[in-house]
């Protein structure tokens, strides 16, 4: 079992090789499961190892994306904030507060009146 810190030190080619080896080992365990007695822990360990390696591959891919698109105006979907659809499509604050010329004129001409009435006095 390889630690995640050791996997992070590997480059992408070594990680691909490691995944291939683990998939081969998993396949062997699954074949042995039908013929011999294999501990379920071994199969689970290999599956978790594959998952860990693929997760680190994905992290490295994201790091490369961040470096590549740091100065770019375009941001790929993987790097954008994940919101729900309503929040993604909602108007920005600037768009919400934008007014037509007549509305600005009306607002200047007729400001909102503020009453300070206290019925307790």
104 lies in some domain: no
Which range of residues forms the domain containing residue 69? 4-83
43 lies in some domain: yes
94 lies in some domain: no
Residue 12, phi then psi, degrees to nearest 5: -65, -35
> Taking a C-beta distance cutoff of 8 angstroms, is the pair 1, 53 a contact?
no
112 pLDDT tier (thresholds 50, 70, 90): confident
103 lies in some domain: no
> Taking a C-beta distance cutoff of 8 angstroms, is the pair 4, 52 a contact?
yes
Q: Quote the tokens at residue 68.
A: 């590549």
Rounded to the nearest 10 degrees, how much is the dihedral formed by the CA atoms of 83, 86, 89, 93? -90
98 lies in some domain: no
Question: Per residue in 21-47, pLDDT tens?
Answer: 999 999 999 988 888 888 889 899 999
- Kindly state the helix (H) or strand (E) to which residue 17 belongs, with its residue range: helix 12-35
State how many domains the chain has. Answer: 1
pTM: 0.64
User: Which one, of 6, 3, 49, 5, lies nearest residue 24 by Cα?
Assistant: 49
Question: Per residue in 71-90, pLDDT tens?
Answer: 888 888 878 888 999 998 99
Give the model's pLDDT for residue 87.
Answer: 92
Across all residues in the chain, what is the average pLDDT? 90
Q: Quote the tokens at residue 95.
A: 């768009």
Position 56 pLDDT exceeds 90? yes
97 lies in some domain: no
8 lies in some domain: yes
23 lies in some domain: yes
Residues contacting residue 16 through CB under 8 Å, at least 6 positions apart: 57
């Amino acid at each position: 079992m390889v630690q995640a810190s050791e996997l992070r030190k590997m480059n992408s080619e070594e990680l691909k090789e490691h995944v291939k080896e683990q998939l081969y080992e998993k396949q062997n365990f699954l074949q042995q499961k039908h013929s011999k007695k294999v501990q379920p822990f071994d199969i689970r360990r290999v599956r978790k190892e594959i998952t860990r390696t693929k997760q680190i591959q994905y992290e490295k891919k994201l790091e490369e994306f961040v470096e590549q698109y740091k100065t770019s105006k375009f941001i790929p979907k993987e790097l954008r904030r994940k919101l729900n659809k309503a929040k993604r499509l909602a108007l920005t604050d600037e768009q919400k507060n934008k007014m037509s010329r007549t509305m600005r004129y009306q607002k200047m001409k007729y400001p909102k009146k503020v009453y300070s009435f206290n019925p307790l006095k």
